[in-house]
Amino acid sequence: MFGIVRPCRHRLREPLFGRWTSHLCGLCLTLRDLHGQSARLVTNYDALLVSVLTEAQDPGGAPYRTAGPCALRGLRRAAVLDAAGAGARLAATVSLVLAAGKVRDHVDDRDGPFASQIVASGASRVADRWQDAGERTAAILGVSTAVLTDAMERQSAIERSQVATLLEVTEPTETAVGAAFAQTALLAGRPANEEKLASAGRHFGRIAHLLDAVEDLHDDKASGCFNPLTATGTSLTNARAYCSDALGGLRAAVAGLDLAEPALTTALLDREVAIAVDKIFARAERAAATGPDGSVGGPRPTLGLPPCMVSCRRRRDPRRPGRPGRRCGDYCSECGCDACCDSCTDCCEAADCCSGCCDCASCCDCA
């Protein structure tokens, strides 16, 4: 599932990082409260944006509560978005419907374990439950999931047809995200923002789809799976140009919004999206230059939270033999890979450090 906006605490500093994690934890707990523990599996980073946008337009309509200790927060309590809020429920709806569509896509393609009839049958039932759960939550809000569902069905049909252009492939995603963003204006009572939010969503949807394609390019080539870039003969250079154009449109749309609290929205949809574009294309271009052994995008995160949300391990400081090291994050400095431990400078490359030489990966999203 799409998840390109994953801010690092060394880049998105307090209080904005704390507010972002409140939305993240709030979405996870909203899914649990409304649909049970297993629903937390569908927590989607980018779905958080609709929660953030709703609060930015109507802070008073985004209630908070104190959540109990969680292992992913170091067993600390935290203030999180309450499940009663419209933004949290819309984010849950989007996460559930997207997850259902993604599972069905894997079943249809018979990807990996889904080639087994038993696995495919079980996965289809799970997808149906998630779809039903998303529709129930949408009904509570008085919104429809039809645009999301239709977009995913059209996406599957397009991928199975003779594709002509890259923008034909990204159109369903653009339409779905545009509709989800625009819905936040109606939930927050800011209808004047609806058109600009739809535009922002369309541009963000294009960027997210393209970055997902770039990250999957190497694996899709190896497995023979559909990839928008190979299917349309689009080079990394041209894909980067499409992303840059969409980023300009996204920034213009966000700048024109009437927001009561714009800081977090601007940080996520302007700076963080731009960083994601730079990072993912830099990895892909390096991998393309290194030959068949390169891995596009590098290893994907295995945790449900950005590495920087997890407490860093303490280690020995290589510059001070015999003395206990500080938290890795204490060494962090801006060096092109967002937050790189400066004790690893010997292994750093222009925009990619932390290649297994130390614990940097526990606090930096650059491994």
Q: Is residue 3 part of a domain?
A: no
333 & 203 share domain: no
In a domain, 256, yes or no: yes
pLDDT, residue 348, reads 34
Residues 85 and 229 in one domain: yes
User: Residue 299 class from Cβ within 10 Å (0-12 exposed, 13-18 middle, 19+ buried)?
Assistant: exposed
pLDDT of residue 162: 80
Number of domains in the chain: 2
Residue 197 scores a pLDDT above 90: yes
User: Per-residue pLDDT tens for 82-91?
Assistant: 999 999 999 9
110 and 51, same structural domain? yes
More confident residue, 248 or 301: 248
What's residue 2's pLDDT? Answer: 54
Is residue 86 assigned to a domain? yes
The pTM assigned to this predicted structure is: 0.80
Q: Are residues 268 and 325 in the same domain?
A: no
Q: Is 295 within a domain?
A: no
Same domain, yes or no, for 93 and 233? yes
Read off the pLDDT of each residue in 133-145 and give the average, rounded to a whole number: 93
How much is the pLDDT for 222? 87
Please report the pLDDT score of residue 137 as a whole number: 94
For the chain, where are the alpha helices, taking DSSP H only? Answer: 16-35, 48-57, 86-109, 117-141, 146-159, 166-187, 194-223, 228-232, 236-255, 263-266, 273-290
Query: What gap in Å lies between CA 91 and CA 48, rounded to an integer?
Result: 6
> Is the same domain home to 106 and 215?
yes
Which domain, by its residues, includes 203? 16-282
Instruction: Supply the pLDDT for residue 220.
Output: 87
pLDDT-based confidence at residue 28 (cuts at 50, 70, 90): very high
Model confidence over 216-230: pLDDT tens digits? 998 888 888 889 999
Residue 108 lies in a domain: yes
- Rounded to the nearest integer, the mean pLDDT of the chain is 81
* Neighbouring C-beta atoms of residue 170, cutoff 10 Å: 23
β-pairing verdict for 76-81 and 64-70:
antiparallel
Question: Which percentage of the chain shows pLDDT scores above 90?
Answer: 59
In this predicted structure, what is the pLDDT of residue 344? 36
d(Cα 65, Cα 76) in Å, to the nearest integer? Answer: 14
Regarding whether 316 and 238 lie in a shared domain, the answer is no
Of 105 and 364, the structure prediction assigns the larger pLDDT to 105
Any idea of the CA torsion for 297, 294, 361, 247, to the nearest 10 degrees?
-20
Has residue 8 been placed in a domain?
no
**Residue 351 pLDDT:** 34
Band of residue 113 on the pLDDT scale cut at 50, 70, 90: confident
Average pLDDT estimate for 104-121: 85
Rounded to an integer, the average pLDDT of 7-24 is 90
What pLDDT is stored for residue 350 in this prediction? 33
Q: Kindly state whether residue 166 falls inside one of the protein's structural domains.
A: yes
**Whether residues 191 and 326 fall in one domain:** no
What is the per-residue pLDDT across 276-317, written as a single tens digit (0 to 9) for each? 999 999 999 988 887 554 444 344 443 344 444 433 333 444
Please tell me whether residues 44 and 183 are part of one structural domain.
yes
Q: What pLDDT score does 106 carry? A: 83
114 confidence band (pLDDT: 50, 70, 90): confident
Q: Does position 99 have pLDDT exceeding 60, yes or no?
A: yes
User: What pLDDT is recorded for position 288?
Assistant: 82
